[in-house]
Amino acid sequence: MIRREPFVLIVPADLEGDEPLKLLAEHPHVRYDRNSFGGRLVTRFLREQQIDVHVPWSWMSWKPL
Cβ(25)–Cβ(52) below 8 Å: yes
pTM of the model: 0.60
pLDDT in tens, the chain (65 residues): 677 888 888 888 898 888 888 888 888 777 777 788 888 888 888 889 888 776 666 555 555 55
Domain ranges of the chain: 24-58
Q: What contacts 20, CB < 8 A, 6 or more positions away?
A: 9
